[in-house]
A and B are shown apart, each in its own frame.
Chain A
Amino acid sequence: MIERAQVLHVAKLARLGLSDEEVETMAGELSGILEHVDRIAALDLDGVEPTSHVVELENVLRADVPHESLSQDVALASAPDPVDGAFRVPSPRAEG
């Protein structure tokens, strides 16, 4: 069972703002989903190698040669608040 405090902790880790109502419904929904997921916790899988990727590839390298990439203008074109060739964000510390 996921408690309200856990929902708030995870939301903070995910940098995700949730309304009070969302916190409530999330606690119930996540609990329900995890209850189902928990069925795999009972499986004895000691010694089984985890699969992170299905294609067996190792050290895929390309030639180390310079090539064209996006110009600064183009890279900044979609930014909500570009300034002086950079991405501007609010201060890390709130004013006042």
Chain B
Amino acid sequence: MKQVVSFIKKEFYHIFRDSRSLLLLLIMPVALMVIFGFAITNEIRNNNLAVFDMAKDGASQKMISRFNASRYFDVMYNVNDASELERVFQKNIASLIIVIPANFNSTLIANNKAQIQILADGSDPNTATSLTNYASSIISDYQHDLMKQANTPYQVTPLIKMMYNPELKGAYTFVPGVMGLILLLISTMMTSVSIVREKELGTMEVLLVSPLPPLLIVLTKAIPYLLISIINVLTILGLSIFVLNLPVQGSFILLLLESILFIITCLALGLLISTASKTQQVAMLISLLGLMLPTMLLSGFIFPVENMPAALQYVSKIVPATWFIIIVKSVMLKGLGFASVWKETLVLLSMALFFIIVSVKRFKIRLQ
């Protein structure tokens, strides 16, 4: 036991003496939380709008000021000639152009009908769809005013309730994913690299000749990272509760236990990677390219899993973070209990066991 403690101590010295990395280990969650909490949102707002007003009459002015007043658009640019339209998109001046034909007002009065054209820059489909939606609702509001019949007969109105996140804050979507990403990074990447480092520098040999069983040697390397990860979980939860005003609806203890389970899964994965790689660069590339991008893109962190093609949905099932994100969303944001997440918990648990068993089998006591 004393030996184990001194091995853990040694590992802590490694970490504390590299103060830059330690600082980053502790700052990274904060930076990411701030970015995700405040900067990253897939809501589309403050978009630049260009107007090609060929009418320049009262009705068209009214329409334009309506766009300007909405919180989604800023009229940034007036197009004067049709040949300019493409340049507006090519120079990224605006993402949407409203084209109001000549004689807009008089056509509207004479024919009771007039046309407006909306040109969207489809190179960003998400923005294009949302902006077109906003624009058409602004135009239909305008139309409503034109009709001046507030009491349209036979009106069906939907009462829409946004559950769990009434203000549609982006943080709700991202916080669970950020937790998954940071834990994966610190637990998996740091552990695997720190083990492989000893191999590469030759100090592993020194450790292996010590009286401690080889497996314990490796486990003692994981423990400091377990502790740092737990600190990170607490930091993230603290920030999301106090800075982002995200509630923890369910049990805090359950959330913490599930996080620890996820950390253990990641640590086990780190051990597995370390048994498979000879140099730090290899370990790092596997964790980084093989884990970070899939975790960011396939786990449902940024992009919803259910929109993906069926084959990728299966792939997302083998990404541990996918399950952790479901658990965090259920417990933290929906306030559900263990009964609703036991399946996901079981999946994480069996992943952890699998990684541990495989890495124990692959672990070599002898150096080549």
A and B are partners in one complex rather than unrelated chains: no
